[in-house]
Amino acid sequence: EPEVTQTPSHQVTQMGQEVILRCVPISNHLYFYWYRQILGQKVEFLVSFYNNEISEKSEIFDDQFSVERPDGSNFTLKIRSTKLEDSAMYFCASSEAGYAFFGQGTRLTVV
C-alpha cells in the first residue's frame, strides 16, 4: 500500500537552531500538507502546497516557517529559528481527490 514517509521520526534541537523536516509524499499525489500537534492538543493546519506553491497557510505559519519541494519526491518544512513552543509532532500528508494519507510524524523537541 502506498505510504507517506517522514524523517526523522524524532529530532531534538536547541532553541534558535534551524530544523528541516522531510517528507516523501505518495508519488502521484498533487496536494501536500503540513500539520502539527502540540502535546495534548488538537492537530492544527499549517500549510498546503499545490503546483509548486503554497495554496493556503494558517496564522501559525509565519515567517519563520517555509516549505519547499526541492526535487520531484521530497517535501520539506523548514523552521528557521526554533522556539520552545515549536515543540510538537509534525505531520505531513498528501492527497489526491481529497482523501489524505498521513505520515507517521516527526516529533520535534526544542530545548
Partner 1 sequence: KNEVEQSPQNLTAQEGEFITINCSYSVGISALHWLQQHPGGGIVSLFMLSSGKKKHGRLIATINIQEKHSSLHITASHPRDSAVYICAVRPGSNYQLIWGAGTKLIIKP
| Residues in touch with partner 1 (CB under 8 A) | 31, 33, 35, 37, 42-45, 48, 50, 55-56, 58, 89, 91, 98-105, 107
- Which set of grid coordinates corresponds to residue 4? 507517506
- Which set of grid coordinates corresponds to residue 106? 516527526
Q: Residue count of the chain, please give it.
A: 111
If the CB atoms of residues 61 and 82 are measured against partner 1, the closer one turns out to be 61
If the CB atoms of residues 4 and 79 are measured against partner 1, the closer one turns out to be 4
**At residue 86, what are phi and psi to the nearest 5 degrees?**
-80, -10
If the CB atoms of residues 55 and 64 are measured against partner 1, the closer one turns out to be 55
Question: Whole-number minimum distance, CB 62 to partner 1, in Å?
Answer: 16
**At residue 48, what are phi and psi to the nearest 5 degrees?**
-125, 155
